[in-house]
Structure 1
């Protein structure tokens, strides 16, 4: 019996970008590219006709920008995971997309394995942020606030948050801390509840904003 493939659709106004991503995805047997477009103008029609599991969406397009496309998708309650394709200096757009509840963020120049991993992670219901973006976002949201919001966390919860902010998956965190993935998931649930966030990206932003590096003993 054939394994279920992750159905992916690409929207990017640059053909060279689309071709590059198509080539990357062709090497991953778990992923099936089902279509592409150079515009998000007809996003509702695209999603209803193609029914992708994951949408790779360029944030900067001439006719309608990525943020507007996301707003349309959210307002229509369309069932699709969204990964933003962004460029290195696009901090404002990335932060705006976070507030809209996007599922993943990947730099266009990212290595193929990162793009594939992002697709697989968001398909499973996880949030994914390209680790390269962590320093980028750090420069945007760093604050001089001296209060330590991490005091509400246990030592282990803090360690889990630190590794989340470094872009590690649940499996990678479990390997670092020698704990089961189920235990890591429980810690993550506690971290989200205590910090009043609902996904990994927002947890990462909060960690960076409050200078988590300064509080982690081995950093």
Structure 2
């Protein structure tokens, strides 16, 4: 398994080498141009780890956005040196699947890779729920050029939501408010298994793949907003 890494920090680089599985080989680059060239080559990388230092943080976030858009099938995981929900929203919205501490532990990293392998987003449960709750207001402050596509939903997206039943509409709304499956079950007086069944149907009808994507779609829909 090959992992392409961007790290300008020696301590972070050495830590990554200690916590990855023994069957993984890490390839280090120290600039986004080098990462771009590596991804453009015929080499196949299972993951791309990107360390985001404090210096030029916002610009580097945009560089990751550009890379993810250019290589949409590449699994990218960022390791920011500072907590920023706005940056996380920006990255997740374009397809980045994971955000972790630069000094993540071995077992936690295994869990992260397992989650992103399934196509889900990793950011920690509490973080993701908080991000869902705040995504609408955060997104409004970060509208830039083609990012407007994320916020100003097209007629096609509205049609996706229109295809939901009243009960599915309600589940989607509760998800956008940051409720867990258990909380939704209690609110609607149904089982968690039923909630999961509703979510499976909702994801299929709206062409979303996870709770965050659904929340972003729902929060910007006049049909489902409060």
Q: TM-score range by the shorter chain?
A: 0.5 to 0.7
Higher helix proportion:
2
1:57 matches 2:50? yes
Q: Does 1:85 align with 2:95?
A: no
| 1:51-91 CA-partner distances (Å, limit 9, x unpaired) | 2111112244757613313313423x463111121245212
How many residue pairs end up in the alignment?
Answer: 180
User: Residue 81 of structure 1 contacts residue 103 of structure 1 at CA under 8 Å; is this kept in 2?
Assistant: yes
For 1:108 and 1:44, the matched residues in 2 are separated by 21
Distance 1:203 1:40 in 2: 27
Residue equivalent to 1:189: 200
Residues 62 and 156 of structure 1: CA distance in aligned 2, closer, same or farther (over 3 Å): closer
Q: 2:64 aligns with which of 66, 69, 90?
A: 69
Where in structure 1 are there 5+ consecutive unaligned residues?
Answer: 1-5, 144-149, 166-175, 210-219
Q: TM-score when scaled to structure 2?
A: 0.59
- Compared with structure 1, are the counterparts of its residues 70 and 117 closer, same or farther at alpha carbon in structure 2 (3 Å cutoff)? same
Q: Quick check: 1:199 aligned with 2:191?
A: no
Q: Distance in 1 between matches of 2:25 and 2:182?
A: 29
- d(CA) in 2 for partners of 1:40, 1:14: 14
For the 8 Å contact 1:192–1:199, the answer to whether it is kept is: yes
Deviation at residue 192 of structure 1 after TM alignment: 2.0
Taking the aligned partners of 2:207 and 2:80, their CA distance within structure 1 comes to: 23
1:133 aligns with 2:127: yes
The secondary structure found in structure 1 opposite 2:120 is coil
- Structure 2 unaligned segments of length 5 or more: list them: 138-164, 184-190, 220-226
| Structure 1 residues 137 and 125, CA gap change in structure 2 (3 angstroms) | closer
CA distance in 1, matches of 2:133, 2:118: 30
Mapped contact 2:54–2:82 kept (Cα < 8 A) = no
